[in-house]
Amino acid sequence: MRVRASLMVTCLGDALFPRVGVAAVHVLEALGVTVDFPAGQTCCGQPAFNSGYRDSARRSARAFLRAFAGSERVVSISGSCAAMVREHYPLLFSGEPEEAAARALAARTYEFSEFLVDVLQIDRLPVRCSGKVTLHHSCHTRRMLGIVEQPERLLGMVEGLEYVPLPRSQDCCGFGGTFAVKMPEISAAMVDEKVDHVLASGAELLTGLDMSCLMNIDGRLRRRGASVPVKHLSEVLAEGWRR
């Protein structure tokens, strides 16, 4: 029986980084997964939840629950959005009629790299990508979902790729959702340090599991005139896929 999964592309992914979703679909399908895209999905409600607007968050989350109601499994291209569903949906819907549905969705939602390594149990990839690559472990992905090794293992399967660890990888990049625009000076100081570490790593490419963080780091890299490309892990795998 084929593995079926619904893609959670996230509002940011849908609007600003469609190529990441495209890459994720390609990789999943090449690995034999039947991918569908519930068109009713828009936003999981994380931005409103993070800012304290729980009623607004619940409205978005209800629509999200409906969109994925028929999904066997959900694969998200954003760790923080997967964390929102897994860790905060039960809280958001505690005591609400949707509580059971929220818990059920949480139980079958995965982050992309976690899905490949822990569910599909991939141990080899026909991917080539030469050069030094470093990885940003996003905070929610690392701390709320406990995902640290999975992306590293996937990078280790890529032929020709030299993985260079990012110094102080545990440090937040400063995005924090609306924090980046509500407290921009502090956020900028944080992303500046992150950029220093990316440049110090000697990496020729920065990858990661969350486009929100990567967008933030990429934005500062470019403003500082650096030319290190920044891509989601799904893009690295898709682009290097050997035919």
Partner 1 sequence: MAAVSSASRKAFDARVARTLGDPGLQEVLRSGQDYMQDLCEAAREELDWPAWLDAVGEVRRHTVAHLDHYVEQFAHNVEMHGGVVFCAADAAEAREYVAELARRTSSRLIVKSKSMVSEEIALNPALEATGAEVVETDLGEFIIQLCGERPFHIVGPAIHKSLEQIRALFSTLAGEELPPDPAALTQFARRQLREKFLSADMGITGANFGVADTGTIVLVTNEGNGRMTTTLPRTHVVVMGVERLVPDLEGLEPLLTVLPWQGVGQRITSYITAITGPRREGDADGPDELHVVLVDNGRSAILGSAYQDILHCIRCGACLDVCPVYRQIGGHAYDSTYSGPIGAVLSPLLEGLPRHAELPFASSLCGACSEVCSARIPLAEHLYGLRRDAVAQGLGSTAWRAGFDGFATATEHPSLFGLAERAARPLLRLFAHGETVRRGLGPLAAWTHTRDLRLPEPRAFRRLWRQRPPGQGGRDPGGERKAGGGRDERGGRSAP
Scanning residues 72 to 101, which ones bind partner 1 (CB under 8 A)?
88
**Contact yes or no for 155/161 (Cβ under 8 A):** yes
Nearer to partner 1, 51 or 164 (CB): 51
Stretch that binds partner 1, among 36-44, 68-76, 96-104, 199-207 (CB under 8 A): 36-44
Shortest distance in whole angstroms from residue 227 CB to partner 1? 12
Closest CA to 151 of 208, 225, 101: 208
Binding span for partner 1 by CB under 8 A among 44-52, 147-155, 158-166, 200-208: 44-52
Residue nearer to partner 1 on the CB measure, 59 or 100:
59
# chain residues binding partner 1, by CB under 8 A: 90
CB 82 within 8 A of CB 24: no
Name the one range near partner 1 by CB under 8 A: 62-70, 97-105, 107-115, 203-211: 62-70
Distance between CA 27 and CA 33 in Å, rounded? 9
- In 3D space, the residue among 134, 128, 125, 101 whose CA is nearest the CA of residue 201 turns out to be 134
What gap in Å lies between CA 206 and CA 134, rounded to an integer? 5
Phi–psi pair at 232, nearest 5 degrees: -70, 150
Q: Of these, 105, 175, 210, 228, which contacts partner 1 (CB under 8 A)?
A: 175
Q: Map residue 70 onto helix, strand or coil.
A: coil
Measured in whole angstroms, the distance separating CA 106 from the mean position of its chain's CA atoms is 16
Query: Could you say whether residue 219 binds partner 1 (CB under 8 A)?
Result: yes
**Binder among 4, 34, 107, 156 for partner 1 (CB under 8 A):** 34
Which of 95, 97, 124, 227: binder of partner 1 (CB under 8 A)? 124
CB-nearer residue toward partner 1: 130 or 178: 178
- Give the per-residue contact string, 183-212, with partner 1 (x = CB under 8 A; - = no): xxxxxxxxx-x-------------------
d(CA 166, CA 120): 27
For partner 1, give the closer residue by CB, 48 or 106: 48
CB 211 within 8 Å of CB 185:
no
